[in-house]
């Protein structure tokens, strides 16, 4: 007897940003496999008695291998359980969703994907700025700042990333941003391009630091925290400068 897997997107961490469908699946789950950024208050929506299994991956910390996570999903579902795979933000954005979908499909296990509030959208909202702006930011692009080795990816579209008319959101890029910024400037992006560091979005200790691409790169080269972060840069709205 095969169970069913729900890929539930938890948003950035604030339980009030869960969708009704996400909360419903958590309340009905027999087992929840959750990422680090989906822990805490969000797990309070899981039903009493549900098995909770931490499978999160964080840079620089011991983490379960992806094939192990996929095997857990398959094994639990094969016992007939209702399984929730809880991912932060929206599970389709840099969440290694495809590998888990492939494993379930190969095992013949039915599943669904429940979208959630992307952390980039939550960061912009919490910082009080739009991601698009009439005439100045007509395009939004998401990029990862780290490949599987943790380094800056080698194959990046520099023309797109250095486009002054786009708002760019860098995921997992705190450590590599100094190198990314240098390459962006080398490809024509102005060093004074506005930038925003958004840390721990959706959590009680969230913080925002406005800077420029050049000054943020210099700051991150000197000191780092272990808080999860997004970096936004481009023609960002500034209520003080644009008043």
The three-state secondary structure class of 5 is strand
The tokens describing 93, both together, are 């954005």
Choose the catalytic residue: 57, 78, 179, 227.
57
Choose the catalytic residue: 14, 30, 35, 163.
35
Helices (H) and strands (E) in the chain, counts: 7, 10
Distance (Å, whole) CA 34 – CA 57: 10
Mark whether 35 is an active-site residue.
yes
Mark whether 57 is an active-site residue.
yes
- A 10 A CB-CB count for 145 gives 23
8 Å CB contact between 228 and 185: no
* Nearest to 110, CA basis, from 89, 68, 71, 80: 80
Q: Which residues are catalytic?
A: 35, 57
């Amino acid at each position: 007897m095969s169970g069913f897997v729900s890929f539930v997107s938890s948003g950035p961490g604030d339980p009030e940003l869960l969708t009704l469908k996400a909360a419903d699946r958590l309340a009905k789950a027999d087992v929840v496999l959750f990422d680090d950024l989906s822990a805490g208050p969000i797990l309070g929506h899981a039903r009493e008695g549900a098995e909770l299994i931490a499978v999160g991956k964080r840079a620089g910390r011991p983490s379960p291998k992806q094939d192990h996570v996929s095997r857990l999903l398959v094994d639990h579902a094969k016992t007939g359980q209702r399984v929730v795979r809880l991912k932060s933000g929206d599970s389709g954005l840099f969440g290694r969703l495809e590998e888990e979908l492939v494993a379930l499909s190969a095992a013949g296990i039915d599943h669904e994907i429940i979208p959630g509030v992307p952390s980039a959208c939550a960061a912009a909202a919490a910082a009080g700025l739009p991601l698009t702006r009439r005439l100045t930011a007509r395009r939004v692009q998401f990029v990862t700042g780290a490949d599987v080795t943790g380094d800056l990816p080698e194959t990046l579209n520099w023309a797109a990333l250095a486009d002054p008319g786009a708002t760019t959101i860098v995921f997992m890029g705190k450590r590599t941003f100094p190198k990314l910024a240098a390459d962006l400037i080398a490809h024509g992006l102005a060093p004074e391009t506005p930038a925003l560091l958004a840390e721990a979005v959706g959590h009680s200790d969230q913080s925002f630091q406005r800077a420029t691409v050049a000054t943020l790169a210099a700051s991150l080269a000197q000191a780092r925290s272990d808080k999860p972060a997004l970096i936004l840069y481009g023609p960002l709205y500034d209520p003080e400068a644009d008043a």
